[in-house]
Amino acid sequence: MNQTLAAPSVWADGKRYLWWLGIMPLATPLLSGALAIGTGIQQLWWVGVLVIFGLIPLIDGLLGEDVSNPPESAVSHLESQRYYRWIVYTGVLFVIASVVVTGWLAAGGIDWIIRGGLMQATATLDPSNWLAKTAAFITARAELHGQVSGFTYLGMAMSTGAATGIAINTAHELGHKPKPLEVFLAKVTLAPTFYGHFYTEHNRGHHVRVATPEDPASSRLGESFWAFLPRSVWFSARSAWNLERERLRKLGLPAWHWKNAVLSAWMYSVLLWGAMIAWLGAAVIPFLIIQGIYGFSLLEVVNYVEHYGLKRQKLPNGRYERCSPRHSWNSNRIVTNIFLFQLQRHSDHHANPTRSYQSLRHFDESPQLPYGYASMIVWAYVPYLWRRRMDHRVLNHYAGDITLANLQPSQRLKYLEKYGGDAKSF
């Protein structure tokens, strides 16, 4: 493990203020809207998607890696600083604002501005008042923007889905803390994607079964993302429900009970979606569905990348070996690590689930991805390209013994026949 050789009394977090950049992806719908309305170019609503699939991978490649770690003596001090939590809390506010504001604009907010609604709302103000001037400016720009086309509506939903998908990682950071405020904020952050069951399944399911064939969120060697996606979505939700049903059974309670953590998490989504539909009408429903599906699919493609082909071996007693740094794919690409609150230091996260993002460490023994997560998810969408980049890395990780990998059952014979148990490379 690489250590920063600095005395704790003088060590300082060089990324202390850079962590605020982690909010930017959560606010991209607001940025996209400002650009689109400000310039009158509707296509700029797609900026959020372009940031994820274009800008971040590009900058990742240019700026390279950061393998430095905080010294162990500084970790307790880092963990105690509320400053880092306020960054995450602020991210929650921005992603909810992105959903509400962009949903309103998509469902008729821009048309309302064009029809003079904003000017009427400020008609009682002195024209020299800054609010009146702002309203006049926005109205003029909205008229230049024009009514929302189908392509623009889709861009609004997709850019918002990019933000809500990345926000699931924010919920992930919050959901590992037992504090009631952080649990509440985690469930609020999961509300736009209707993925509240992630809170239960990730903590009590995935962290127990990670890198085993029994874990729906651990992808298998030879399994395409498009095969993994429905498997992970369905069986993760089912697992979360079963975990809660069993917990409640031990308490003598039925599964359909208000103490069911899965149901209570889904209720946040019902309240958010229900309030927006009641306010904005049926026009917002496609927006909510599109951003929700795209959002949780982003989580799942990251899940796909994180443990592809890696497997904990069974011990003589029938239990799996303890999860180690060797069971997660990692990356030290600095840009994606800042934007994702160091999710790419995934091995340390599994070793220390309650450790906050600013304290996560790089391990030399953890398998490394060729690119950051932002780039890898693009390759994951194309199975042929993904296999060319990753299958040989899985095999090399196991010193050529393909039988040690987590193999897709339908591809098992094919891989064994092609590479054998003693193959040394692809």
pLDDT in tens, 405-417: 999 999 999 998 8
Please state, as a whole number, how many other Cβ atoms lie within 10 Å of the Cβ of residue 36: 26
Is the residue at 402 inside a domain? no
Confidence of residue 384 (pLDDT cuts 50, 70, 90): very high
Confidence of residue 137 (pLDDT cuts 50, 70, 90): confident
Alpha-carbon Rg for the chain, nearest whole angstrom, is 23
The domain tally of the chain equals: 1
Q: Would you state the pLDDT for residue 421?
A: 56
Q: Would you state the pLDDT for residue 425?
A: 39
Q: Would you state the pLDDT for residue 10?
A: 64
Is the residue at 293 inside a domain? yes
- Give yes or no for residue 117 having a pLDDT over 90: no
Is the residue at 200 inside a domain? yes
Is the residue at 165 inside a domain? yes
Is the residue at 4 inside a domain? no
Backbone phi, psi, residue 174, to 5°: -75, -35
Is the residue at 401 inside a domain? no
pLDDT in tens, 41-66: 999 999 989 888 888 889 988 888 88
C-beta separation of 86 from 18 below 8 A: no
pLDDT in tens, 317-327: 989 999 989 99
Domain boundaries, position 53: 18-386
Q: Would you state the pLDDT for residue 3?
A: 46
pLDDT in tens, 338-367: 999 999 898 888 888 888 989 988 888 889
**How big is the CA angle at 69 (ends 65 and 3), to the nearest 5 degrees?**
110
> Across the chain, what does the average pLDDT equal?
91
Separation between Cα atoms, residue 370 and residue 393, nearest integer Å: 9
Is the residue at 398 inside a domain? no
Between 67 and 270, name the one with better pLDDT: 270
| pTM score | 0.91
Is the residue at 52 inside a domain? yes
User: Which of 2-6, 95-99, 216-220 bottoms out in mean pLDDT, i.e. has the lowest?
Assistant: 2-6
